[in-house]
Structure 1
Amino acid sequence: MKIYSLALGALTLAATAPVAAQSDTQSAVCPVELIVLGVGQDGGAPQLGNSADPAWEDPSLRRLATSIAVLDREAGARYLFEATPDMREQLYRLDLAMPITARPGLDGIFLTHGHIGHYTGLMFLGHESMGARDVPVYAMPSMSAFLFSNGPWDQLVRYDNIELEEIWAGQPVELGDVRVTAFEVPHRQEYTEVVGYHIAGPTRSAIFLPDIDSWEEWETWEYGEAMRIEDLIATVDIAYIDATFYANGEIPGRDMSGFPHPFITHSMERFADLPASERAKIRFIHFNHTNPVRYPDAPERDVVIEAGFGLADEGERYCLAD
């Protein structure tokens, strides 16, 4: 498995093991490519109100809210996964990776759910900002209904800034050389259902699953299709999965045992007996601002890498075609 890094403006982030170097010219020959545009939890880093965060003084420590994109170079198509509050910066990074002339140059936006880090960037498509026209937004039924029925999002629909495309779990969306299939997962559903995505290119495939309550709950889930995360990982070449928190205790003074996310430490313990080839597929993503792995020199990063897992970095690329 080869994962590549990309310089993004003044910020250069190197992906963690296993990694192979690749120039932008080499990457450009990949016909269908996945690129990571953000790895932070919904609020990014530094987070609002946390004035002690060193990222305020050191821009290299800043992280955007989690998002990926898939580039189909032969079709000239770009697909964004999540519309985050950092969407302006992320579209600029996307332009660096695959320049286009049309604006916003998005052939589809796939949303996972209705939490702030995953859909509120849609506001930049409205008439107060870009004034986009008919950008396809792929969303599950409850997510689609939420956008259609609630302001200010319904204005995007009425003004034809976006075009809602309702999707269903288990039913693939065919996009030329790219096939995207949503799968439901247990997670806080205050407004909408929550999904991850299976993304298939011509020869390789990926999982994008930034939010889930727990791997164990998914195995016995009564409100959707129960599944073992290991079985899903076995079907793909690379898996970007929820790693919001590293371990209990990282938020001082709070018992985090009931938090609705699997800790990295728990995931590593659960996956420890997987073959090395399966562990190497995993790229942890969606780091809370308290998660120590967001810092390049954190010893916790070394623990993850030495255990055979990976940590997603902004700018890394993965080719989904030979």
Structure 2
Amino acid sequence: MLDVGGDMRVRVLCVVFTILLGDFPGTFLGNPIGTRVGISPFGQATTAYGQTSSKAADEDTVSTDTAGNEPAREDSAKKQLEVIVLGNAQDAGYPQAGCDRECCKLARSNPSARRFATSLAIVDHANSKRYLFECTPDFREQLYLLDQLAPIDSGRAKLDGIFLTHAHIGHYAGLIHLGREVMSTDRLPVFCMPRMKAFLSSNGPWNQLVDLEQIQLKKLAAGQILSLGTSCSVVPFLVPHRDEYSETVGFEIALNECTMMFLPDIDKWEKWEVPIESLIARCDMALLDGTFFDGSELPGRDMSQIPHPFITESLSRFKKLPVGERRKIHFIHFNHTNPVLRAESDANRQILELQMHVAEQGQRFRF
């Protein structure tokens, strides 16, 4: 059972998932996986919707666990896994530097409309652990937001690990806060793919974080399961994107008996050899690239130089799916020009009419 909570400080659209699970062995992009822990088809899911307010030695490769262990069930709401959306904007946040258009004037005049760059936190309440997905330029504010929504005991590490998708600024630039000028963390695990690891190890100021042992780079492998305990595991998968400095991945994250897909950046669905519908079918919730609503947002820019699947393209494609599949979809990673950042927009209405969703900053999902 996935239960959704909220916080009065933020406006959220919430989802309550009731999962009907089956024991289906599966594969992930050709790799065998476990039936419960890891990424596998969990059977059919029905969805109901409602409104609410809102130091170990360095290792080159992380250990993995492919055993299909049955996760322990936790009855207490406190002892759950929780996903918190810490930001839903594109790399530069909202409003964006240098933008004098009406879209950003609105956010500057109304602080409640401002949004951080896309980032998620996974909170393991039972084991008092917190993991960050993406380390954005808004890291300072997002860590504070996480402390407000899911506080931890003072005196322990603020984070237990950071997962990075790729080397575009909105996804790793917040690592600067881990150096001795700011937090001076102690061997904080940073999980990333091989090219991303090489990029951080070979270029300043990031390599200083490695040399001073403020971070430990942990190399991930596509399709390989990383266990974060008996009830949570992560699998990276490669996607086509502008890979100037690193490869790009999405993540499938197993949380107790549910699966969430996090895919904030991809060039175009048709450029990927994997049908996105097949991954939607095998997960219970999908956070997908919604950078641009359509191709008209950046007049004067060549959109082919910054390819993303337009939300209009995704809606046209996904409207053919059964309603139960569409309800899993939450768009995220919105450019400052994207009208879905305004709840009253026609763009938002189009998404909701097809029973898909807009991921909201501060939104919380409990598993």
Is the pair's TM-score, using the shorter chain for normalization, greater than 0.5? yes
Identity among equivalent positions (%) equals 50
Pick one of 239, 244, 259 that aligns with 2:286: 239
CA displacement at 1:142 relative to structure 2: 0.4
**What one-letter code is carried by the residue in structure 2 that aligns with 1:215?**
W
Tell me the equivalent position of 2:59. none
Tell me the equivalent position of 2:122. 70
Partners in 1 of 2:339 and 2:358 — Cα distance? 12
Structure 1 residue 204 corresponds to structure 2 residue 202: no
**What one-letter code is carried by the residue in structure 1 that aligns with 2:294?**
A
Partners in 2 of 1:36 and 1:172 — Cα distance? 23
- Greater shift, 53-62 or 192-201, is seen at 53-62
**What one-letter code is carried by the residue in structure 1 that aligns with 2:208?**
Q
Relative distance call for 1:254 and 1:159 in structure 2 (3 A) is closer
Pick one of 148, 152, 157 that aligns with 2:201: 148
Cα deviations across residues 118-137 of structure 1 (Å, max 9, x unaligned)?
00101001001111111100
CA displacement at 1:196 relative to structure 2: 0.3
CA displacement at 1:60 relative to structure 2: 1.2
Within-5 A mapping of 1:245-284: 245-254=292-301, 256=303, 259-284=306-331
Relative distance call for 1:263 and 1:271 in structure 2 (3 A) is same
Pick one of 238, 242, 250 that aligns with 1:188: 242
**What one-letter code is carried by the residue in structure 2 that aligns with 1:296?**
A
Runs of at least 5 residues in structure 1 that lack an aligned partner in the other structure? 220-226
Tell me the equivalent position of 2:162. 109
Q: Give the root-mean-square deviation of aligned CA atoms.
A: 2.1
**What one-letter code is carried by the residue in structure 1 that aligns with 2:266?**
I
For these two proteins, the number of residue pairs brought into alignment is 310
Larger Rg: 2
CA displacement at 1:256 relative to structure 2: 3.3
Tell me the equivalent position of 2:191. 138
Secondary structure of the corresponding residue to residue 185 of structure 2: coil
Runs of 4+ in 1 over 4 A off after TM superposition: 16-19, 21-24
Structure 1 residue 45 corresponds to structure 2 residue 94: yes
Partners in 2 of 1:27 and 1:33 — Cα distance? 13
Structure 1 residue 31 corresponds to structure 2 residue 84: no
Relative distance call for 1:294 and 1:207 in structure 2 (3 A) is same
Pick one of 179, 189, 199 that aligns with 1:126: 179
Runs of at least 5 residues in structure 2 that lack an aligned partner in the other structure? 16-47, 55-74
Partners in 1 of 2:76 and 2:49 — Cα distance? 14
**What one-letter code is carried by the residue in structure 2 that aligns with 1:134?**
R
CA displacement at 1:299 relative to structure 2: 1.5
Tell me the equivalent position of 1:303. 350
CA displacement at 1:19 relative to structure 2: 4.2
CA displacement at 1:319 relative to structure 2: 2.1
**What one-letter code is carried by the residue in structure 2 that aligns with 1:70?**
I
Pick one of 50, 64, 74 that aligns with 1:20: 50
Partners in 2 of 1:48 and 1:34 — Cα distance? 29
